[in-house]
Chains A and B, each alone.
Chain A
């Protein structure tokens, strides 16, 4: 359904496969492994926030839809093809870039505060940041 977004060179691909085999514990996520989907996602966390990076270059930020529903973040939108129509006298030699509608979902941890979600789009990367609830943050308890 999706084409591979970032194929790697063969040596790093073998390395990645080896690492994937080492870490595979037999139960993939219900939403799939997500390899080769558009946009590619990186997810990270700090003690006070959850950070999501979507690698979605060349999109009008107004057409990006970011929503959070019951702890599930969904990013959807459309990327138009840069290839000209058929009637023009051109030859397409390589056609690898993703075009069309896309949608990706990530389930976020339970301790996030949905009201603090912020999103920014820079250099083709959508960065969504959600704060964790203050009560869920690690606290140091003073001993009396």
Chain B
């Protein structure tokens, strides 16, 4: 009786608990911003969803393979079809200017730092 009502009352936290693959990432920072690379093999541009909510970055994608009809799996190291990874962004990053590029299953995200957070050279005057 009770479990019937479960799907309709599924909340955000339930969604987060769904079993997903965690794509490996590289994150590097330079003076102008952060670059993130994520491995998402099998995810097409249409199936990739990157979004920023408040200061949280969500990377989600659905894996789609060309599987011939009637194929039975003999061995699977990738046993799920959804990728998900979540990061918390820091305040000095400019979430409105995130750019994303997907190439051969690798996502490259560039998150620039907000203008006021960019390093400035301060001239030291000799008095």
Contacts and interface: CB of A to CB of B under 8 A. Distances in A.
Contacts, number: 144
SS of B interface (majority): loop
A118 B27 CA distance: 36
B105 A84 contact: no
A57 B74 contact: no
A59 B76 CA distance: 21
A44 B80 CA distance: 15
A92 B66 contact: no
B70 A58 contact: no
Interface string A42-54: 1111110101010
Contacts of A43: 73-76
B58 to A, nearest CB: 15
A96 interface: yes
Interface stretch (B7-15, B16-24, B49-57, B92-100): B16-24
A123 B44 contact: yes
Contacts of A94: 25-27
Contact of B103 (A55, A58, A93, A122): A58
B19 A11 contact: yes
A91 B28 contact: yes
Given A89-B31, A93-B34, 16 more contacts: A9-B19, A16-B79, A34-B77, A40-B78, A42-B65, A42-B73, A43-B75, A43-B76, A57-B40, A82-B37, A96-B24, A97-B39, A98-B24, A121-B104, A123-B43, A124-B39
